[in-house]
Structure 1
């Protein structure tokens, strides 16, 4: 026997409802006394064939009689029955029917039975729907809320009640804004209104949900909603399913935070900036407040040891509130027992879930204590910053009044975040350490502030590059020469780092050595070029092919100038360096058109000397290319700014130097290349401080030199130097008479010392030697060297000059 096929709608209706169920009436003996049209439709029996007959004889197959009798017994005992019973169709088929039987009493004592039946398949489907609905409201872990057409809650299931912590009947008859926090209720009401008006379902929409009775507890829920309608299309309300996805949402947020941290932390090699980036990332995704406290050696780029009990400095704080116990740059005292102290000693995160702030942990004064208590902090995670086995400091994450306490998962994320940041901070510390070493090396190789010289007044600036490129190889020098002359030099070794600083030191030492030989500027640059080529060859042979160091050495440039305050003559030569700028006292600014020459170390091309006379009070400005390239790389605009600043030649020299730096350097960023700037204001020795005589080359020249010297020193008020200077002048003139040809020039110069110079047309250099006891001569230069502070020889195109220096008595 088969069962009739049943077609279901998407939402089966009650099969026992009026008009859908088959109904029959039986008297107390089981005789059919009533039969509906639906019963005839389902079982095939017309009413006239059924009424008056016993239902067991007509509707029950013989093999099902035992079951039928058992049903009758149960019904008589309980006064009703519900279940499935096989019924014989008029055509002989067995049809599974579901029945509801209920006994009723008529006329006080007459009992009858009302039966309502439907195909068993429809009954089963209806029962499943009822079981599903019951499960949704009573046992489902997913929340269910139904709203009426007025957008008020009709019913919530137990999952919603359990998650919200309020009885299931509490929200009934209320709108979301009456039991949810305002910022969360708005989207909820708008969602219900939209579904009611449009009929468009919403699927898996995530939003925040917080109840008014517990506003600090935030939950992230996934909401799906659809409109409920009856069979006629009448809107009955909206049903929402709500799933708590807080854990999943926080997990995604933590992963996103770690991913974001990789991009945002470590953008520079500055320790403080990296600490700020860590604090900002932590506040954006994990905490209300974050402080990063580093051991003092870390902030200074010093070497670290294994001791973690050193002084902690607050390196970063986010958000940068004004009212916090300790600001950036302040020392943060921690006493034993504090979470941060335990974190550092144990090298593990410390979570304080319900923190009761203890002032003794931080040795706070009353003012700081009041500030701390005002923050309302209730939860803390302290995480050590450890990189390469060394402790760098501690990160403190704080949550205050309106946030939930930290969880263990938050501590794990904080540890991962801090571990990544610690490597970046340690990289920045190591870079700072290297930069400090290079800067210390470079500053030790640069000259100290130039002293007051008779030839020039000098102002200078050296500005190292910013942290990223590293220390460069720019340098300057002011070198006193014989005859009160002065050499001014500015140079640039390309590249950055220790190699550039070391190469700069070598070149500066070489320039000073060459300057002491009193060579012409083109000769100094040419010999420096030879030296660079030699050093580059040594580097190539001894540094395992360190190409960068060789390129730095060969890429060096410089400009070398010599100024004579007696003649006002200035000679310059350069090797691939920016041309100097001259400013005359009337404010006219000119870029000198001296031959550029190749950079040092290329070889093969000659260098040329450029000569000019400078009026007293002129400015000679030498600089490296970093000065012109610091602001946007616009060389022409930078030169215009430089000319404007130098046009005020009468201003104090240090003010002019400061104005140039302010005009050409961007205020918001450090330069990307080193900058060396040297400005010299020329001086001229007063004519009364210089005496010069041309002596004929004859036997009386030495005696004449002694007479002139004694007379001039008496005139200058220096009679105590007369004897010594007479002897010096006599010996030098005598040497010229013996070994040179042509006239001899004697010159005395009085400045901070007394200079005696004897010039002749010979290029033969005198040599100091010790005479034997049997020698009749050869002791002249020895006596000169003993009686003077310094002596030497310089060569010119026309001959040579032998000079000596003596201290003045009052000096």
Structure 2
């Protein structure tokens, strides 16, 4: 709530100078600002309504413009009427009656009238405020000071003068510093004058600390009847220092704030906020390098040589941390071994007076100045120990008064440090589990970049940051039969080691099912069955599940078939730079069951890029995240040649990648195509006489490709497979050769019966065909198609000019 400005919008408040000068610059007190005014036309309708009229009667100018004035003001007299200057009863917008002195003025040659209204108590209101201010200044129980809007001290009472320290100047009050470190009293007075929000019971102290005690200050803004700020009124009283019991109780209540964060540095800051002012005037916390670097300290006494402590948190009740003391981030200088120093590492609370503290530091004045705050008369130190491990050291110093630390203080210090050490240990346990899950997950993911005949891929995985444990996101890219490539991206429900273990089982299952050459929809159906069995085995079934996208790209046919189990659709970037999301029909999440999955088939030109991801890349607002990803891909796709560089650029632009709230997985695949001159296809009727034609066609094409070394083996393979197809499956039979990094031979027939390799007996007349095929090839297998099945084989190409690049 800011102060009102009768003259219009307030200008920016300048900084600097007098603490209240900024408010003075925004205020212009005008005596007419409180006079309600309305301009009426010849028909008695309102054509203009002032802000003061709105304050007096509640009606806005928009509501009154065009309305008859008599509805609010009653019958308005003419300017020459003797009743034009009388007191009348006006109707407020709320329905109540408002009395006001009304004046009516006219102009020569115009029928318009100006109506002015002034509440009868406006003239004496400021005098009443002055009476109240005079009463405040006259009392002697509370110190009172009045400042005008420029920050000049107007007057004080005797009680305030009694609070002024000896020899202090007139500005002593505004120079006091807040005990909580929020700033000076002058800055607080300025904020009160600017906003009108009062200050209640703020504790302020002299800087540097002197003999005077702290004061409790309250401040409120003083305004005139027109609402114009005229200054501030300040009340002050001495702060009664809390007794030992109150101080200890406050410190124990503050201890509940320790350990709310998994950040070990924040835990140290929480401890210093309790130590000051709970136990003393200065506090420090130091950590060994092991803790700062995320390594769990070794158990037992580390010794001085094994630890390199560094200051991580400081706090003082006397303003800024003194420059001569060791600052945050600085290494702690070594101190000669002594019983007191050894006690610091083995768990004892060290209590020392000023003389003992100087002796422990070796009496070196320079070292003493670096370690001990000026005026130290007592110190209390305690190591941060948990489960036999040294996590750091905390110390608190008293520089005001001469009260030594007692047994109650020692117990409090020990309890606070034990709670802090427990919080650090909890943070390390979380860090260990998080790191274990990250290592496990990264070890299960494939290489970041792969290159094959079908596609060039690049994968990225960013674990969740902050207090969120690693999740179950994964990606994979692997070769399939006939030069095809399988692409998969998944997201497992939950976080932590259980999610990583679930991810490992699902990734292994996807690879196994993909090796069976199952179509994408059937693969997801089998994977859904597996997740449902895992839910039965799990202690909490709701924590097992997830989403998955599976795609298969064929570089010969240049087609991509994909299906989704509740996963976001991939983005497709064409070679021309156009970006669109694939129109998938997403099925249910894995584990729901009893729902089919649909396959989407795309024909991709060579050089297209599929961008698959998990929802962590989009953020909570999926629609906005999708539009941002689409815009980034459209802008970046033309500037980055490889999928790896494009993926890095996309993550660099993502607002969620720096400190992800959820795991982010990104898989990019740049598609390739096998040239048409490297493929050959023939179709034969179901006639065993056509087997010889198949051998002849294959022999001729291999000789054309310069693969004479593979003619014999390939003829035998084709002869066996085509003969079996014609004998047991009928026709037509299709033979396809593909020359790339390997020679692929495919024989397709209309039967859905899968072949089975078996060992023939000596007396058997057949059954050795597939055994011979297996001996002549590097890999072989079969897969279902929409019109039957395909048996495929792969043979390594000989080294030489016939091997394509």
Same fold (TM over 0.5): yes
CA RMSD of aligned residues (A): 4.3
CA contact (8 A) 1:582 1:592 kept: yes
**Cα deviation per residue 1:464-510 (whole Å; 9 max; x = unaligned)?**
22342322222211121111111111112222222222222211111
Tell me, which stretches of 5 or more residues in structure 2 are unaligned? Answer: 1-155, 159-163, 177-184, 186-200, 217-236, 316-320
Query: What's the CA shift for 1:721?
Result: 3.5
Aligned residue for 2:405?
Answer: 408
Query: Is 2:360 the partner of 1:395?
Result: no
Counterpart in 1 of 2:442?
443
Counterparts of 1:98-109 in structure 2, within 5 Å, are none
Measure, in 2, the Cα distance between the counterparts of 1:322 and 1:644: 50
Q: CA deviation at 1:523?
A: 0.7
Residues 1:559 and 2:559 aligned together:
no
Partner of 1:634: 621
Cα 1:613–1:324 shift into 2, 3 Å: farther
Equivalent residues of 2:313, 2:328 under 8 A apart: yes
Tell me the distance in 2 between the aligned counterparts of 1:694 and 1:781.
21
Q: Deviations over 1:415-444 (max 9, x none)?
A: 332222122112212222222222222223
**Inter-partner Cα distance in structure 1 for 2:650 and 2:707:** 44
Alpha carbons of 1:311 and 1:752: their partners in 2 closer, same or farther (altered >3 Å)? Answer: farther
**Equivalent in the alignment of 1:305:** 299
Pick the aligned partner of 1:270 from 263, 270, 275.
Answer: 263
Distance 1:601 1:371 in 2: 67
Q: Distance in 2 between matches of 1:370 and 1:688?
A: 85
Partners of 2:772 and 2:361 in 1: CA distance = 80
Partner of 2:478: 479
Greater Rg over alpha carbons, structure:
1
Matched residues in 2 for 1:746 and 1:324: separation?
A: 85
How many Å separate the matches in 1 of 2:738 and 2:311? Answer: 59
Question: 1:601, CA displacement in angstroms?
Answer: 1.8
Matched residues, number: 583
Partner residue, 2:637: 649
Give the distance between the partners of 1:267 and 1:429, measured in 2 at CA: 14
1:597-636 equivalent positions in 2, closer than 5 A: 597-629=587-619, 633-636=620-623
The change in CA–CA distance for 1:640 and 1:358 in structure 2 (over 3 A counts) is same
Does residue 456 in structure 1 map to residue 455 in structure 2? yes
Which residues in structure 2 correspond to 1:318-357 (within 5 Å)? 318=314, 328=329, 336-337=337-338, 339-349=340-350, 351=352, 353-354=354-355, 355-356=357-358
Using the alignment, how far apart are the partners of 1:207 and 1:717 within structure 2? 94
1:143 alignment partner in structure 2: none
Change (3 A) 1:345 1:186: closer
Does the CA-based 8 Å contact 2:283-2:396 persist in structure 1?
A: yes
Residues 749, 788 of structure 2: 8 Å contact kept = yes
> C-alpha distance in 2, partners of 1:329/1:764?
75
Q: How does 1:39-438 map to 2 (within 5 A)?
A: 176-178=165-167, 220=213, 248=242, 252-253=246-247, 255-263=249-257, 265-279=258-272, 282=275, 286=280, 288=282, 290-294=284-288, 296=290, 300=294, 302=296, 305-309=299-303, 311-312=307-308, 314=310, 316-318=312-314, 328=329, 336-337=337-338, 339-349=340-350, 351=352, 353-354=354-355, 355-356=357-358, 372=370, 381-387=380-386, 389-397=387-395, 407-409=404-406, 412-438=411-437
Contact 1:340/1:382 (<8 A) preserved: no
* 1:24 equivalent in structure 2: none
Conservation of the 8 A alpha-carbon contact between 2:326 and 2:332: no
Could you tell me how far 1:315 is from its partner in structure 2? 7.3
Q: CA deviation at 1:412?
A: 4.8
Shift of 1:784: 2.1
1:702-741 mapped onto 2 (5 Å cutoff): 702-741=691-730
Question: Against the structure 1 CA distance between its residues 344 and 569, is the aligned structure 2 distance closer, same or farther, given a 3 Å change threshold?
Answer: same
Q: How does 1:690-705 map to 2 (within 5 A)?
A: 690-705=679-694
The more displaced of 486-495 and 772-781 is: 772-781
1:493, 1:503 within 8 Å by CA — same for their partners in 2? yes
Please, what TM-score do these two structures have when normalized by structure 1?
0.63
Cα deviations by residue, 1:628-664 (Å, 9 ceiling, x for unpaired): 22xxx22222111111112243333223322332333
Q: Distance in 1 between matches of 2:314 and 2:508?
A: 49
- 1:357 deviates by 8.3
Change over 3 Å in CA distance of 1:244–1:287 after alignment to 2: closer
Cα pair 1:325 1:369 within 8 Å, conserved: no
Question: In the aligned structure 2, how far is the partner of 1:327 from the partner of 1:176?
Answer: 34
Normalised TM-score (structure 2):
0.64
1:487-636 aligned at under 5 Å gives the runs 487-539=486-538, 546-547=539-540, 550-553=541-544, 555-629=545-619, 633-636=620-623
Q: Deviations over 1:723-775 (max 9, x none)?
A: 43333333322322332211322222233333222222222211111122233
Question: Are residues 606 and 349 of structure 1, via their aligned partners in 2, closer, same or farther at CA, if it must alter by over 3 Å?
Answer: same
Contact 2:570–2:581 (Cα < 8 Å) also in 1 = yes
Separation in structure 1 between the aligned mates of residue 392 and residue 307 of structure 2, nearest angstrom = 12
SS of the equivalent of 1:495 reads strand
Query: Structure 1 residues 750, 756: closer, same or farther in 2, change over 3 A?
Result: same
Counterparts in 2 of 1:442 and 1:371: CA distance versus 1, 3 Å: farther
Query: Separation in 2 of the partners of 1:305 and 1:753?
Result: 58
Mapped to 1, the partners of 2:206 and 2:551 lie a distance apart of 78
Give the whole-Å Cα distance in 2 for the aligned partners of 1:321 and 1:716: 83
Shift in CA distance, 764/415, structure 1 to aligned 2, threshold 3 Å: same
- What secondary structure is seen at the aligned counterpart in 2 of 1:420? helix
Task: Label 1:205 to 1:680 Cα distance change in 2 as closer, same or farther (>3 A).
Answer: closer
Pick closer, same or farther for the CA change 1:783–1:186 going to 2, 3 Å. Answer: closer
- Contact 1:518–1:794 (CA under 8 A) maintained in structure 2: yes
